[in-house]
Amino acid sequence: MKSTIPEASLEEFFRLNEIFNHSKVKHPPKSVNLHNYFSETMIDKIKELIGEAEVFTTESKESLDAFRIKFISKKGLINEIFAEFKNVPNEQKKDFGQAINTLKKTVEEKIKTLQENFESKEEIKGIYGDLTRPGTPIPVGARHPISLVKNQVINIFSNIGFNVSEGPEIEDDWHNFEALNFPEHHPARDMQDTFFVQMNPDHLLRTHTSSVQVRYMENNQPPIRTISPGRVFRNEAISSRSHCIFHQVEGLYIDKDVSFADLKQTLLYFTKEMFGKSKIRLRPSYFPFTEPSAEVDVYWGLKTETDYRITKGTGWLEIMGCGMVDPNVLKASNIDPEEYSGFAFGMGLERMAMLLYQIGDIRMYFENDVRFLEQFKSNF
């Protein structure tokens, strides 16, 4: 390419033009100054190349390399064009020189930015891996069905002003029995077959959450509105219907002039909210700490076969025990029964979860089989 253009050497002219576009150049008009014509065509071509370099972009290192080789390698276009500089007529040298400098700058900048782009992508890749890859799924856990039901009960009662209280699972005789009007040697204690702590027979695993009532009354003055969810223990044979560990929620309401009607209305509100059922009945029953006492049945209906099965064909399901707090219980916690009255209720959470989720065997709650637990993912 170091040859100068001999006057009117058309052959050489075409050859040089091929540097730029690998295509045949139109014959120059006969009358033109070939030198001028050539450098004008070159300047146009350089401008075209600047446009090409400006829009060039690539995701691959190979094509960036090809781009670099094409323009700025030893045998690249820019060198070849520079070599022609001396053949450019003086009056065109300035335009030609400017064009080629712009081309060089454009190409160099383009290479630099694309290079940086690759590097920063690689850096990100190094830190985070390939960000475009689909993520590794994070398994979502599920709440235990007992927790689900417990939280539901808490929500329902907190809407009518009940707070949540808790007590210890290892209790003393006073809180579990004595203060709840179970005198020593009273046969009512046999209703709840108890685990005692061998080292200290005064200590036992609480058989019901009613012990929390006593603790709450010891520490709080009426008006009292509290529910106490928790784990309880009884020495019962383990079967599909009963277990030695289960959960209860206790409710206690104490104020002036609390009546049995208040109890009934509160329970009706609860069954509506919890089960969507609005028919309940109270059957007389016995608990030492309430007088009168009752079992609460909810009318489940007899629409399906399951309804028949779980209600034993009656349509009614027992869901909890309740009653008006016995004056002896109030007295034991230094609350004046002449001034205050109240009601209490207690329900089993396992039974309730069995109804709501159609769980057939109480033992499933305690086996921690993930295949069982995973089924509650959607219930939060």
Interface with ligand PHE (CB under 6 A) = 208, 210, 250, 287, 290, 321-323, 344-346
Within 13 Å and on the Cβ side, how many CA atoms surround 211? Answer: 25
Q: Which is nearer to ligand PHE, 84 or 250 (CB)?
A: 250
Residue 192, amino acid: Q
Q: Which is nearer to ligand PHE, 13 or 365 (CB)?
A: 365
Taking the complex as a whole, the smallest distance from the CB of residue 375 to ligand PHE amounts, in Å, to 28
Q: Which is nearer to ligand PHE, 173 or 307 (CB)?
A: 173
Q: Which is nearer to ligand PHE, 71 or 323 (CB)?
A: 323
Taking the complex as a whole, the smallest distance from the CB of residue 130 to ligand PHE amounts, in Å, to 59
* Residue of 42, 49, 50 whose CA lies nearest to 17: 42
Looking up tokens 């390939």, which residue turns up? 130
**What is the DSSP secondary-structure string of 116-161?**
HHHHHHHHHHHHH--TTSPPPPPPP----HHHHHHHHHHHHHHTTT
Taking the complex as a whole, the smallest distance from the CB of residue 137 to ligand PHE amounts, in Å, to 43
Q: Which is nearer to ligand PHE, 39 or 213 (CB)?
A: 213
Say how far residue 377 (Cα) sits from the centre of its chain.
11
Taking the complex as a whole, the smallest distance from the CB of residue 147 to ligand PHE amounts, in Å, to 20
Tell me whether strands 280-287 and 170-172 are parallel, antiparallel or unpaired: unpaired
Q: What are phi and psi of 30, to 5 degrees?
A: -55, -40
Point out the residue whose Cβ comes nearest to ligand PHE: 346
Taking the complex as a whole, the smallest distance from the CB of residue 285 to ligand PHE amounts, in Å, to 8
Q: Which is nearer to ligand PHE, 208 or 243 (CB)?
A: 208
Taking the complex as a whole, the smallest distance from the CB of residue 290 to ligand PHE amounts, in Å, to 5
Helix (H, G, I), strand (E, B) or coil at 363: coil
Taking the complex as a whole, the smallest distance from the CB of residue 320 to ligand PHE amounts, in Å, to 7
Rounded-to-integer distance, Cα 230 and Cα 167, Å:
8
Taking the complex as a whole, the smallest distance from the CB of residue 298 to ligand PHE amounts, in Å, to 16
Q: Which is nearer to ligand PHE, 107 or 296 (CB)?
A: 296
Q: What are phi and psi of 338, to 5 degrees?
A: -75, -30
Q: What are phi and psi of 4, to 5 degrees?
A: -85, 165
CA distances, 24 to each of 5, 46, 78, 84 (Å): 18, 16, 20, 19
Q: Which is nearer to ligand PHE, 13 or 340 (CB)?
A: 340
Supply the angle between the helices 90-128 and 61-72 in degrees, to the nearest 10.
160
